[in-house]
Amino acid sequence: MDLLREFLLIYFAAVNLLAFALCGWDKWAAKRGARRVPERRLLLFCALGGSPAFLLGMALFHHKTRKPKFYVGVPLILVVQLALLVLAVRFL
């Protein structure tokens, strides 16, 4: 069980770091007219567990804050993930 916990901690740290970095990179690319990160990929990293860091990135970089897909979708993803976490902790 300790190995599983360690794996999950590393996984969530990595996916959150990547989600935050992608948010920052996409904002940087948007300012410079460079190639952007597809919205689908940004939302995928949120769905894979990176929603807390992506929300932080949205706030710090002022990025994707006008798109309902993000200012509604990312918090919604986070709420669903937290609910699943509570259920997993309670019943597993």
Give pLDDT, residue 17: 98
CA distance 62 to 48: 22
Give pLDDT, residue 92: 73
To the question of pTM greater than 0.85 for the whole model, the response is yes
Domain locations in the chain as residue ranges:
2-91
Mean pLDDT by 10 residues, the chain (92 residues): 88 97 98 97 98 98 96 98 92 79
Is 30 in contact with 71 (CB distance < 8 Å)?
A: no
Is 83 in contact with 49 (CB distance < 8 Å)?
A: no
C-alpha distances in Å from residue 71, one per residue of 22, 56, 81, 82: 16, 12, 16, 17
Give pLDDT, residue 70: 97
